[in-house]
Amino acid sequence: MKPLLFISTFLVLLISCNAESTKKEDVMSKTNFITEVKMNDVISAMKDSLGSEATFRIERGVQQVANLWRESDGTAEEFTEFCKKNFVTEESQIDKLFNTLERNFEVFDGYFHKIDVLLKEPLQLEGEDITPVDMMFGSYDVTSHLYDDLYANKIAFLTALNFPFYTLQEKTELGEKWSRKEWAYARMGDRFIARVPADIQQDISKTLTEADAYISDYNIFMGKLRNANGEQLFPDEMKLISHWGLRDELKSNYADTARGLEKQRMIYAVMKRIIDQSIPQDVINNNKFDWNPISNKLFENNAEAAASPEPDTRYKTFLGNFHAMRQLDAYYSNYPTQISRAFDATMEIPQKDVETLFKGLLASPEVKEVASFIESRLGRKLEPFDIWYNGFKARGGIPEDQLTAITSKKYPDPKALETDLPNILVKLGWKPEKAKEISSLIVVDPSRGAGHAWGATMRNDIAHLRTRVAATGMDYKGYNIAVHEFGHTVEQTITMNDVDYYTLNGVPNTAFTEAVAFLFQKRDLELLGLKNPNPEDEYYLALDNFWSSFEIMGVSLVDIQVWEWLYSNPDATPAQLKEAVISAAKNVWNTYYADVLGGEDETLLGIYSHMIDYPLYLPNYPMGHLIDFQIGQQVRGKNLADEMDRMYTQGRIIPQLWMKNAVGSGIAIEPLLKSTKEALEALKK
């Protein structure tokens, strides 16, 4: 466990060492070198010479350049000369400039990304223990000086001058009438809106990489867990990552009618120990000791051993992310906090709209109705961990060991899965030729962590599907995750290679790629040839989506509340942050969950590892569930491949417009609530 302690200590030192320099940068960034008077003089002169038709572009472009210009870039007179000389008015010349910039930015993005992928392989793929040198290379941000260079050679200023930045409100009001080229121009205008120093970019990359490494190595050896009678409930070889592996194992035990409930309660106890950091340091990624997570006692050779709790490492890491991301605040005038960047800039849906959706579903009467239905199926009162009830899945009562027997034989190693990818796509509706084309741009890697997908950033480059594969073959958990990640890589490949403009590649936000991943994941048994046509499947899919949304929306509200607390308490200690997370988890639980799942002051919503290594990513998951459900309704009875091609080649326009074009309406909870009610009525008959 020494590497984890070293990483955490280094994060704390890094934060304290950078505190003073960050304050200085804050002051410098808020004092523009180009005065407002000079900026207005330049705008007025250019409008007089170029005419009123270019008024908006002149005003917005000159303002953007003025906000980014520093004394080191040249004098005020050189600023004036640059704007007058480099502003393009003729449509043909604007188009030519756009094509040049788009082509060259793809070169930068694509090849720097390839370097990043290779440098991080020792951290992210199965292999030898991570060394300090691996961490140095893996946390290095190869792009950290690129933007400094692009400002130094004036390419950044040229781009900002000629391609206006539009706020989310402006994109919402104007975007529906824009042509594809106008949308591509607008996305070019998003490229240079903040001038972040290279050392800050490097610090952020280092901090987030170390957080990811901490989580990727946070494993529990389940065969070492013991109950009050000293019994072992889990197999020797089972090693589960927190929180994903623990959660999925808990879910799988609904099919175990013998000791499933006891196993679930034991996993639940492990999770609570992780949240409050009472978990013994010596059981994290270590199989030396036996551990009773309920009594929290350690045993070695059947004798009780001394135990020391994890020293708030989880919250030191979280706090490190906050301090790293907060360094950006002074440089983003339009998005002055990580919260606004997460919602307005990245998700492109206002925070208040997102919270309104979440709270609307959490407070809906359907929650208690579905909970009552689950109780009738389980034959007992619900407990807090039933937030992960998965009895609506198509596999029904098939024990997980039987599913693992199938998947481990079919996929003994990553190469076997990679070879089968074209066949999977054909089963999902793609024509063989297109399936082969997409799959040729996807490779399968053995993941050190739970698994993830990493798309390319230039056309005809490789997307990486990463999942865990044991020496005995891919177990069902790994397969289920792999199908989810395959959905990501298919979306990434399509939206990189089949979208008409490079600046529009991708999806509106990560919720949309999660939607594709969910669409694939719910078909995992069908792809194994196990799913039989069932007229009730549609109802169970609705209930499954509803309960999954119910689960992750509360977790997302906790994440939001904690980030709001951090901004109000920027000097908090790890111990104080721990209490804030626990307090937020209890607050959300008591408001929306206690009435249906019990457990007043329950802390379970604080277990999610995303909070630690993906700053404010969690709200994308419930948005993904809502989008997934609406898209699922759209594709029902249609060819999935054709519909994905129609919808996803829209690329990265704003989310609500994307949805309107794709399914005829914006993102909403009403379709899911309506289908949930219909499902309950049908299944109760």
Residues 479 and 366 occupy one common structural domain: no
Phi and psi at residue 299, in whole multiples of 5°? -135, 140
* The domain boundary residue, chosen from 193, 223, 239: 193
Phi and psi at residue 11, in whole multiples of 5°? -60, -45
Residues 423 and 387 occupy one common structural domain: no
In the block, residue with structure tokens 């292999």: 127
Residue 122 forms part of a structural domain: yes
Q: Kindly provide the residue ranges of all beta strands, DSSP E only, lying in 115-228, ordered along the sequence.
A: 219-221
* The domain boundary residue, chosen from 314, 339, 359: 314
In the block, residue with structure tokens 């959300």: 588
Q: Computed from CA positions of residues 558, 560, 562, 568, in that sequence, does the dihedral angle turn out positive or negative?
A: negative
CA-based nearest residue to 589, from 581, 133, 32: 581
And the tokens for 465?
């599907």
Residues 422 and 490 occupy one common structural domain: yes
Q: Kindly provide the residue ranges of all beta strands, DSSP E only, lying in 353-501, ordered along the sequence.
A: 442-446, 451-454, 463-467
The one-letter amino acid code at 48 reads D
Contact criterion met (CB below 8 Å) for 411 and 630: no
Residue 324 forms part of a structural domain: no
Residues 444 and 517 occupy one common structural domain: yes
pLDDT (tens digit, 9 = 90+) per residue, 439-470? 999 999 998 877 789 999 999 999 999 988 88
Q: How much is the pLDDT for 126?
A: 87
Residues 161 and 244 occupy one common structural domain: no
Percent of the chain at pLDDT exceeding 90: 81
Q: How many CA atoms lie within 13 A of 398 on its CB side?
A: 15
Domain count, the chain: 4
Q: How much is the pLDDT for 534?
A: 66
pLDDT (tens digit, 9 = 90+) per residue, 322-340? 999 999 999 998 999 999 9
- Distance CA(207)–CA(201), nearest Å, equals 10
In the block, residue with structure tokens 């999806």: 507
Q: Computed from CA positions of residues 76, 79, 83, 86, in that sequence, does the dihedral angle turn out positive or negative?
A: positive
By residue range, what is the domain housing residue 145? 33-193
- Distance CA(236)–CA(249), nearest Å, equals 14
* The domain boundary residue, chosen from 527, 544, 562: 527
Residues 110 and 169 occupy one common structural domain: yes
Phi and psi at residue 683, in whole multiples of 5°? -80, -20
Residues 372 and 483 occupy one common structural domain: no
Q: How much is the pLDDT for 360?
A: 98
Q: How much is the pLDDT for 19?
A: 34
- Distance CA(265)–CA(228), nearest Å, equals 12
Residues 446 and 421 occupy one common structural domain: yes
Q: How much is the pLDDT for 538?
A: 85
Residues 594 and 670 occupy one common structural domain: yes
Residue 286 forms part of a structural domain: yes
Q: How much is the pLDDT for 515?
A: 87
Chunked into runs of 10 residues, the chain (685 residues) has average pLDDT values of 30 33 40 90 95 93 96 96 97 97 97 94 90 91 87 97 97 97 98 91 92 94 97 96 95 93 98 98 96 97 94 98 97 94 95 98 98 96 97 70 94 96 97 98 89 93 92 91 95 97 95 89 90 74 94 98 98 98 98 96 97 93 92 91 96 97 96 97 88
Residues 557 and 464 occupy one common structural domain: no
Tell me the three state secondary structure of residue 334. coil
Residue 19 forms part of a structural domain: no
> What are the Cα distances from residue 280, in Å, to 3, 215, 285, 301, 437?
16, 16, 11, 17, 49
Residue 205 forms part of a structural domain: no
Q: How much is the pLDDT for 103?
A: 98
Q: How much is the pLDDT for 536?
A: 82
Q: How much is the pLDDT for 2?
A: 30
Residue 342 forms part of a structural domain: no
Residue 360 forms part of a structural domain: yes
Residue 141 forms part of a structural domain: yes
Contact criterion met (CB below 8 Å) for 312 and 296: no
Whole-model pTM? 0.83
Task: Return all residues near 533 (Cβ < 8 A) that are at least 6 apart.
Answer: none
Q: How much is the pLDDT for 22?
A: 36
The DSSP element (H or E) to which 147 belongs, if any, is helix 146-152
The CA-based angle 164-335-502, given to 5 degrees, is 45
Q: Which residues pair with 453 in a beta bridge?
A: 465
Residues 491 and 604 occupy one common structural domain: no
- Distance CA(43)–CA(54), nearest Å, equals 11
The DSSP element (H or E) to which 290 belongs, if any, is strand 290-292
Phi and psi at residue 653, in whole multiples of 5°? -95, 180
Q: How much is the pLDDT for 12?
A: 31
Residues 84 and 150 occupy one common structural domain: yes
| C-alpha torsion angle, residues 211, 216, 217, 221 (rounded to 10) | 140
